[in-house]
Amino acid sequence: MSTVLLWTVGILAAAVGVAVSIALHELGHLLPAKRFGVKVTQYMVGFGPTLFSRRRGETEYGVKAIPLGGYVRMIGMFPPQPGDAPGRVRASSTGRWALMAEEARQASFVEIAPGEESRTFHRLPVWKRIVVMAGGPLVNLLLALVLTAVAASGIGRPGYVPTLSAVSQCVQPAGSTATTCAADDPVAPGAAAGLRPGDEVVAFDGAPVRDWESLSAAIRERGGQPVQLLVERDGQRLTVSATPVLTEREVLTATGEATGRTEEVGFLGVSPSIAVVRTPLAEVPGVVAEQVEGTAAIVARLPQRLYDVARAAFGSAPRDPNGPIGVVGIGRLAGELNARPAIIPGDELAERTSRIVSLLAGLNVALFVFNLIPLLPFDGGHIAGALWEVLKKALFRLRRRPDPGPVDVAKAMPLAYGVSVVLVGMSVLLLYADIVRPVTLDR
């Protein structure tokens, strides 16, 4: 299959995956809302002009032109102020910010027909409002778990395994590019102990070896100390004694990148093999939890991250491969991932599928974290308002004061408009950066 075709297939797969993820996110709002009796007038995937739609019962289902999100329109999202009549803006709401809030409040009542007052969102008990608004992000979290399980546990990914692919014959200085041993180079401990390519390390000093990472860490920690390795060779197990030698080696980051620093660690002189590695299903939640933590760290530093993106897009600074990317960037990465040659020959389709599925799992983690930001117009803004209502009512009860009524989330609409403007600006910046200075797999 040609590279161009592989690129195209990867981009299309990502586009379909993004659309499905958004559609299921909105379904996570739609189903509980309908289950709780709220009238839902629209279920839309995308923004802008409507490409097509169809009405089923009281709800219009459709797809819009700009695939940057979606929405579910429920009547009565905001509670009226005491004494207000739906459809009428208070004459006293003359301030700009107050008028924004009042207009948003009244707009939420436009579609309420006589007799439907009990079907408004704001009349739901707090826990039901939280279920409706948390439904979308929780669907994305569930999708991330399922997709990660498929990619990591079902298909598997190329990774290092503790089966030796090579055994160094000597110990060379850190940073050496020599391909042969010099006469004065000391013999490597692994070669001196009789280890051979193809040996599978089963245990290290009595502790079972689960993966190459744990074996490598154990070797580095035991420099200068004699150890025993249980290896499997040609179907038989044998014990090998060796003493990792202390030597200077470069310090790497958690992702394997060079730091420019060295440290004295244990060195055995063995290299791992590359094979399909399947993550145990029980470890999938931990993998997704790490992704959530990493994504939350990016969101917490989003202003700095966006500044770095702008420096890269409009200057000569390098683009951070771990920074935010837009829809175009996701498509480009999917194309690159699918066009890249397989690391393990023999099952290219499975490896490429695992790459795309992993990318979509990461996208759903991002949707989960981003939508829980406790600001309108995000789902987290409505959840924060509901939680504040619970806390406020509890405080009033403790003070033996009358019920304060529902929290007026509409008062946060001026902030929501500001956040929306920032989101549009961020989308434009990422779109431009993904075109002129895209994140690539080679960086």
Neighbouring C-alpha atoms within 13 Å toward the C-beta of 71? 13
194 close to 315: Cβ distance less than 8 angstroms: no
Amino acid type, 215: L
Tokens of residue 379, six digits: 């789902």
Long-range contacts of 261-266 (CB under 8 A, 24+ apart): 262/174, 264/223, 265/220, 265/221, 265/223, 266/219, 266/220, 266/221, 266/222, 266/223, 266/224, 266/225
Choosing from 26, 336, 351, 389, the catalytic residue is 26
Name the burial class of residue 178, with classes exposed (0-12), middle (13-18) and buried (19+) by CB atoms within 10 angstroms of its CB. Answer: exposed
Find all residues with CB under 8 Å of 177, minimum gap 6, and list them: none
Rounded Cα gap, residues 153 and 282, in angstroms:
9
Rounded Cα gap, residues 237 and 229, in angstroms:
10
Tokens of residue 348, six digits: 């290219």
- In three-state secondary structure terms, 172 is coil
DSSP 75: S
Is 26 among the catalytic positions? yes
CA 355 distance to own-chain centroid? 14
- In three-state secondary structure terms, 209 is coil
Q: Where is 419: in which H helix or E strand? A: helix 413-436
Q: Where is 327: in which H helix or E strand? A: helix 327-339
Rounded Cα gap, residues 349 and 167, in angstroms:
32
DSSP string, 424-439: HHHHHHHHHHHHHS--
Tokens of residue 213, six digits: 């990472």
Find all residues with CB under 8 Å of 127, minimum gap 6, and list them: none
364 close to 140: Cβ distance less than 8 angstroms: yes
Q: Where is 355: in which H helix or E strand? A: helix 348-371
CA quadruple 337, 339, 341, 344: dihedral, nearest 10? 50
Active site residues: 26
